[in-house]
Amino acid sequence: DRIARNALRGAVSAAAAVVRKEARERAPVSTGPLKPGDPAPGTLKRAIFQKQIPELSSLLSQTFYVGVRHGKRYRVRGKKGNRSQDAYYWRWVEFGTSRMSARPFLRPAFEAQKQAAVQALADYLAVRIREEVTKLQGSKR
């Protein structure tokens, strides 16, 4: 149970981190002049996250989500300016609109890194299972 719970969760998290990193690299950043009310450049990159979904996870399967934060609860105004993570517009960027062509970053990030994510998962499991077996053998003595 300990190996399943800890090692599997960590392995799937490592795989999701590979996809999240690639999505952050591919996310476009605004370079033009900002209009009043426009989000600060880099908001979309900062808003990309990964999260475990406990409702869909168990000892034998883990589910992680790589997505974009959006909504009022992620609007933050600090002393150093707007560091908001409210990327409410991410769908318009990813899928396009009738006035704007799509500039996808999430789907291509997954497609480009899916093999690397599987490799990261396998590498993590190889190390972690050895560690857990060593702990189990040490506790039996």
pLDDT tens digits, one per residue of 63-91: 999 999 988 766 666 555 556 788 899 99
Give the model confidence (pLDDT) of 8-35 as tens digits.
Answer: 999 999 999 999 999 999 999 988 888 8
Token duo for residue 43: 């908001």
Which residues neighbour 113 within 8 Å (Cβ) at sequence distance 6 or greater? 18, 19, 21, 22
**pLDDT (0 to 100) of residue 70:** 86
Q: What pTM was estimated for this model as a whole?
A: 0.84
